[in-house]
């Protein structure tokens, strides 16, 4: 197993904290996530049966250039079923953030974001609302450390930091930009009722 000397423990801590911040601030940024969703919607509409070919030759022959060219073409042709997600990608007319994970709301309802999504789908066209929930993959951070007295111990026994590295997670509800202002006002008015557990509402 790969390990480190004790003098490098702080560097390992810094790398793992940087990994957390990279996920929280970049990989899970709402704009990046919604473009992933638009791309997924496009591919499901464009690919045969909504998925990549399992034929190896066909799969390997499909390049990024092919996909980008097809997106450009679909963005210009409103008759194509994949037109809307393609247009949103090309014109940067992506869905906007309506709601995101909030610790105050989670104390009331651990599924607050999903409750907002369901309520939004009941209020606005469901095709114009998207829900996204993602959690950073939990990678073990227990590795051997050679101490200054020659013993080998677990990194978790030496580092309080490694025992408390948070896991990045995000819950988002997005809505088409043409409904954003109306939806924001709707959510501000109804948030408490929407996120309240069902037994409290009834």
CA distance 40 to 24: 21
User: C-alpha angle 96/27/126, rounded to 5°?
Assistant: 30
Instruction: Work out the percent of the chain whose per-residue pLDDT is above 70.
Output: 98
Q: Is the pLDDT of residue 138 over 80?
A: no
* pLDDT tens string 13-52: 999 999 999 999 999 999 999 999 999 999 999 999 999 9
Identify the CATH number of the domain in which residue 52 sits.
3.30.70.1370
Q: What is the pLDDT of residues 84-100, one digit of tens each?
A: 999 999 999 999 999 99
Task: Indicate the angle between helix axes 30-46 and 64-76, nearest 10 degrees.
Answer: 90
The whole-number pLDDT of residue 133 equals 96
The number of folded domains in the chain is 1
Instruction: Of 161, 72, 175, give the one whose Cα is nearest residue 121.
Output: 175
Tell me: pLDDT of 198 over 80. Answer: no
Alpha carbons 181 and 173: distance in angstroms, whole number = 14
What are the residues facing 99 on neighbouring strands?
173
| Residue numbers of the domain that contains 23 | 4-201
**What's the average model confidence in pLDDT over 175-190?**
97
């Amino acid at each position: 197993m790969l390990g480190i000397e004790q003098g490098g423990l702080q560097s390992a801590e810094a790398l793992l904290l940087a990994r957390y911040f990279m996920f929280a601030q970049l990989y899970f940024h709402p704009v990046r996530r919604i473009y992933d969703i638009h791309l997924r919607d496009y591919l499901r509409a464009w690919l045969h049966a909504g998925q990549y070919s399992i034929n190896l030759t066909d799969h390997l022959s499909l390049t990024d250039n092919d996909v980008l060219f097809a997106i450009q073409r679909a963005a210009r042709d409103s008759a194509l079923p994949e037109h809307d997600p393609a247009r949103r990608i090309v014109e940067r007319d992506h869905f906007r953030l309506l709601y995101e994970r909030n610790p105050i709301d989670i104390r009331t309802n651990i599924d607050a974001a999903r409750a907002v999504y369901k309520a939004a789908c009941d209020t606005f066209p469901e095709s114009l609302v998207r829900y996204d929930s993602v959690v950073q993959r939990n990678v073990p951070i227990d590795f051997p450390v050679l101490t200054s007295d020659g013993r080998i111990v677990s990194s978790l026994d030496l580092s309080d930091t490694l025992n408390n590295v948070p896991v990045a997670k995000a819950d988002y509800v997005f809505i088409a930009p043409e409904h954003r202002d109306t939806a924001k006002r709707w959510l501000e008015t109804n948030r408490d009722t929407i996120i309240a557990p069902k037994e409290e509402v009834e």
